[in-house]
Each structure stands twice: as C-alpha cells, then as structure tokens.
Amino acid sequence: MDDEYPQFDDRHPGVRYEESVANVWTYTAGLGLAVLLTIVSFVVSQTPLLWGPGVPVGLIVLAFAQIGVHLVFFLHMGTGPDHTNNLIALVFGLLIVFLVIAGSCWIMFHLNANLMTMPGR
C-alpha cells in the first residue's frame, strides 16, 4: 500500500488524490459567466448593437462560449491526461450530432428537389 497518498473511500476508481475538487466558488463563477453570456445574447439579438447579417454569427459565437463555460465550470473537463476519455466522448458526441443535423438537412433538400408535382398546380 502506498502511504504517500491517503486513501479515500468516497472517490471513484481512477480518481487520484491530487486532483482538484470543485467548490462553491467555481460553481458561482460558472453561473455568473453563464448568466452574463445569456444576457449578452438577448442584448445582441434585440438591439442594433451588431450589424443585421452579423447577428446570427454573434449568437453562434456566444453559444460556443456558453458551451465552453458549461464544460469547464460544471462538467470539469480539462486538458489533463486524466480527462482524455471525457474529451474523446465529447468529440464523438459532437460528431454524431453533426451527422444527424447534416444528414437531416441533406434528406430534406433532396426530398424537396425530388418531389413529384401535383396535378392541377
């Protein structure tokens, strides 16, 4: 038994002693950033702060920032070697979501292009 690190019964297998644990301040900072990004999204969409055609791009950028805040502050995803499996699962999930959305758009486009015309119209 390695006496350098104390053993805790409440940790999952694979969780080492030196890993940081979340506290109330990390959750509060994450909540504050998430609320701020939500307010900024509403301000961008409801005011002429951005040029009209740039509003969707601004909202997409703010949405990715919101996703990043949730991943870092609430799901505790990092770049360390212990988070490799989490990162692989995230990338795989993003791939599946992209395939579903892109496939649905492709099917709808081809359905619209290949529909038979109705007689009398």
pLDDT digits (tens, 9 = 90+) for 103-114: 999 998 888 777
pLDDT for 2: 53
pLDDT digits (tens, 9 = 90+) for 41-88: 999 999 888 888 889 999 999 999 998 899 888 888 877 777 788 888
pLDDT for 46: 93
Q: Which comes out higher in pLDDT, residue 82 or 97?
A: 97
HEC assignment per residue over the chain: CCCCCCCCCCCCCCCCCCCCCCCHHHHHHHHHHHHHHHHHHHHHHHCCCCCHHHHHHHHHHHHHHHHHHHHHHHCCCCCCHHHHHHHHHHHHHHHHHHHHHHHHHHHHHHHHHHCCCCCCC
pLDDT for 9: 47
